[in-house]
Amino acid sequence: MVLVHPRSISDKAKNIVFINPAPAEERTFLLKSKEELQQLPGNSENVAYSNQIERYAKRPNSMERCALSDYIAKYIVKYPKKMMKSFLT
């Protein structure tokens, strides 16, 4: 189960989020830590953490009609610890 919590007004006021409209292959990404990279198989291409756009694509079916901008602006996604590794990588 993925928990999606609405953000409070005060949370929204603190953050401005840029949603990069470039194709996925042209976007910058956050590289995994050295320790995480060392645990990957030698031929793995999974070297980056997932981003908000990728997580939006994997959102729960109940949020199918939610626009990307609303999803990023209005919700905080929390994952059970079991899911964290597989869902965010």
Cβ-defined contacts of 14-20 (< 8 Å, 24+): 17/52, 17/72, 17/73, 19/52, 19/53, 19/68, 19/69, 19/72, 20/53
Phi and psi at residue 45, to the nearest 5°: -105, 5
The residues that bridge with 57 in the sheet, in sequence order, are none
Q: Which stretches of 1-89 are DSSP H helices?
A: 9-14, 34-39, 52-57, 68-74, 81-88
Domain ranges of the chain: 3-16+31-39+47-88
pLDDT in tens, 12-69: 455 677 888 889 889 888 898 899 899 999 899 889 988 888 889 988 899 899 999 8
